[in-house]
Amino acid sequence: MKPVTLKDIAEQLNISITTVSKALKDYPDVSKKTKGLVKELAKTLNYKPNTFAVNLRMKESKTIGLVVPVIVHHFFSNIIKGIISQAEKKGYLVIILQSNESYELEKKQVDLLLSQRVDGILISLANGTADFSHLNGIIQQGKPLVMFDKIAKIIKCSKIIIDDRKAAYNATQHLIDIGCKRIAHFRGALLPQNSIDRFLGYKKALLDNNFPYDPSLVYICELGDNSFEEGKENARKLLKDHNDVDGIFINTDLVAIGAMTEFKKHGVKVPEDINIVGFSNWFMSSVISPTLTTIDQPGYKMGKTAFKQLYKEMKAIKNKKPLPSKIITLETALIKRESTKSEME
């Protein structure tokens, strides 16, 4: 069945299409009686406005693109919820795409979003992204781009981030404060900026406290997906290489939980034998045993803030008054739980 149009309503009431359009929009130059007739017939015929045509006239699609490395992940799912909560308030549809940590797929997805004429793009980069030409392409087309979490510092666009170095520093400092003497780090892949910054925060905390930096205590999640299995694998390597480690700062909670599972299998007790701090405050970190000390990363707030900034920039471009890009840094907090000792022993 064909969609009902303004022309269909106009023909049945024997009035002009312009009058129908004005009546539906409550224009004052249309009589109350005509408005009533038009609205009643529109309801009866189940008329739906052609939003595509309206948006085309307004030179906007009322859609935005969102590219994330993974969707089924506590942190990113919270970001998505935050974005959608704000987008719905402003009448925007969100096209969500998953790059699977692949640069090639990420590049194709950006091209797809641009071909769909989205009004703006939000993106958290894949671990494998080292070439940023596709991001510059967004900006060159006059589309606002806002990056969040995993960013590229050299791209001139707005960014919503946390201070990863500071958060990692605080996590490592906590291990030092409770008496750990030999502290390892399970880090993310080499490329993402947040992985780099967390490593640098860990290293700086050691050096500031006159601890020697030992590169053999840094284990890379080589698959790049910060998974439960990588946590188990790195825990096995650590037990084989260094039986004197009494503290670990781990790049994400999921990796930390994998490590804790492996330690338990080998009879290594947390925190009696080894203290662990994770990162992100995933919901599982508060229900496992022992519960996981971690850095709280505000995913939902990051999502809300990212859309609000994108919306401001889309509106500014529409009004031909583009805004300068800005960096918004959200606060983090150390959540102390059972995987670290409560005091120096």
Phi-psi region of 50 (alpha: psi -120 to 50; beta: other; left: phi over 0): beta
Measured in degrees and rounded to the nearest 5, phi and psi for residue 192 equal -55, 140
Distance CA 319, CA 330 (A): 28
Q: Are 233 and 223 in contact (CB under 8 A)?
A: no
Q: Are 123 and 98 in contact (CB under 8 A)?
A: no
Q: Structure tokens of 251?
A: 């790049």
What secondary structure letter does DSSP report for 286? G
Equal fold, 58-162+299-332 vs 164-297 = yes
pLDDT tens for the chain, 345 residues long, are: 678 888 889 999 999 989 988 888 889 898 999 999 989 998 888 888 765 555 555 567 899 999 999 987 789 999 999 999 999 999 999 999 999 999 999 999 999 999 989 999 999 999 889 899 999 999 999 999 999 999 999 999 999 999 999 999 999 999 999 999 999 999 988 888 999 999 999 999 999 999 999 999 999 987 655 689 999 999 999 999 999 999 999 999 999 999 999 999 999 999 999 999 999 999 899 999 999 999 999 999 999 999 999 999 999 999 999 899 999 999 999 999 999 998 655
- Amino acid identity at 338: E
Q: Structure tokens of 131?
A: 């070439």
Q: What is the pTM of this model?
A: 0.82
Q: Structure tokens of 285?
A: 């970190």
Distance CA 24, CA 195 (A): 54
Fold assignment, 164-297? Rossmann fold (3.40.50)
Q: Tokens 């492996």, residue?
A: 262
Distance CA 196, CA 214 (A): 16
Helix (H) or strand (E) segment spanning residue 56: helix 51-57
pLDDT of residue 273: 97
Cβ neighbors of 40 (< 8 A, separation 6 or more) are none
Fold assignment, 58-162+299-332? Rossmann fold (3.40.50)
Domain positions in the chain are 6-49, 58-162+299-332, 164-297
Distance CA 226, CA 277 (A): 15
What secondary structure letter does DSSP report for 117? T
Distance CA 136, CA 199 (A): 28
